[in-house]
Structure 1
Amino acid sequence: MRPMDSKGFDSWAGNYDTSVREHSKGYPFEGYFDVLNRVCELVGDCRGKTILDLGVGTGLLSLELFRQGAMVVGVDFSPRMLDVARSRMPGGRFVCADLGEGLPNELKDILFDAIVSGYALHHLEEDRKNELMREAFRRLAPGGVLVVADISFETVKDWQDCRLRSGNEWDDGEHYTVAGEAIPKLAGVGITVSYEQISSCAGVLVAQEQSCNPRNRCKSTNSG
């Protein structure tokens, strides 16, 4: 299946929320809201923090962070999706840009207390996805955390099993992360990368400084 472009997501914007709720059993959206809730738990206390949402879509992920007092900056390549997110989070900042080209230039001088992404990065090829996550990590303020929630798997076997179960529903045009392969590529000096499987086809990947554990809700200072 050919991946959708921005116009495809524009067309989907009006019923995206309903669509993911109606397809919450099995691949690809099983456990969708459990996964998003886990991201919020890992971010922790976000009052007064500036949080970047990569592939913000209609804002389903960052809306809860916004409600808790975060300043949300959202990036997406779909103007219609951004319109929905903007209406839900007045006062937020939204940038229309293709993440396949990296972080938008207007955000490159900002440090973020947390950077999150929900069900967006699987549209990028694996090398480009890893490069974007490394770039995002460099934009974290001290003590910040990067949390990527997506269709993903712990092992290649888990990926293969899901593909077999999904049959004709499986989308070969997407690039789903296998944690066992991605973590060694992302890990570096001073960086801890971990992965947690939430449903049969989705989980969260967390990158942080080795001295900071998101489960302890480390506080950071935004210098953007």
Structure 2
Amino acid sequence: MQNFRYDYIVATYSLHHLTDDQKKDFFLELRNHLKENGKIIIGDVAFETRKDLEQCKLKAGDTWDNDEIYFVVEELRKDFPGLSFTKMSGCAGVLILE
């Protein structure tokens, strides 16, 4: 089986069903499929800090989906220090892993 390499791997609103450990493992696997200087780009419900997530959760009240596991960038940076994040709204953003 061929091992394809990509310049970009893009996912939107599809990874918040993975646990944090599954996200880490998935990112590590995806990196194996990038060309040199390739990027993984993820648009999803995401927060810079756990505090930001908790504030959004309080604001959302009963509409918060407790079955989903949203991205907390500061926690992911422990394993992926080069991870960048651009906040797009109060509850979403774009993560880029090179």
Q: TM-score interval w.r.t. the shorter chain?
A: over 0.9
Offset at residue 186 of structure 1 (A):
2.3
Instruction: Please tell me whether the aligned partners of residues 115 and 146 of structure 1 are also in contact (alpha carbons under 8 angstroms).
Output: yes
CA apart distance, 1:126: 0.8
Query: Distance between the aligned counterparts of 1:204 and 1:184, measured in 2?
Result: 18
Structure 1: unaligned runs, 5 residues or longer: 1-105, 209-224
Q: Which has the larger radius of gyration?
A: 1
Q: Deviations over 1:6-64 (max 9, x none)?
A: xxxxxxxxxxxxxxxxxxxxxxxxxxxxxxxxxxxxxxxxxxxxxxxxxxxxxxxxxxx
The residue number in structure 2 matching 1:79 is none
- Structure-2-length-normalised TM-score: 0.93
Deviations 1:170-222 (A, max 9, x none): 011100011111111223xxxx32111111000111111xxxxxxxxxxxxxx
Alignment of 1:87-166 (within 5 A): 109-166=3-60
Give the drift of 1:109. Answer: 1.0
Identity of aligned residues (%): 36
SS at match of 1:168: helix
SS state at 2:83 partner? strand
Q: What is the match of residue 86 of structure 2? A: 196
Q: How many residues align?
A: 98
Q: Aligned partners of 2:42, 2:78: CA distance in 1, in Å?
A: 16
* CA-atom RMSD in angstroms: 1.3
In the TM superposition, what is the alpha-carbon distance from 1:134 to its structure 2 partner? 1.4
Q: Give the letter aligned to residue 5 of structure 2.
A: L
* Other structure's SS at 1:185 match: coil
Q: Give distance in 1, aligned partners of 2:53 and 2:97.
A: 22
Q: Which of the two has greater strand per residue?
A: 2
When normalised by structure 1's length, the TM-score is 0.42
1:116, CA displacement in angstroms?
0.7
Higher helix share: 1
Does the 8 Å contact 1:119/1:150 carry over to 2? yes
Segments of 5+ residues of structure 2 without an aligned counterpart are none
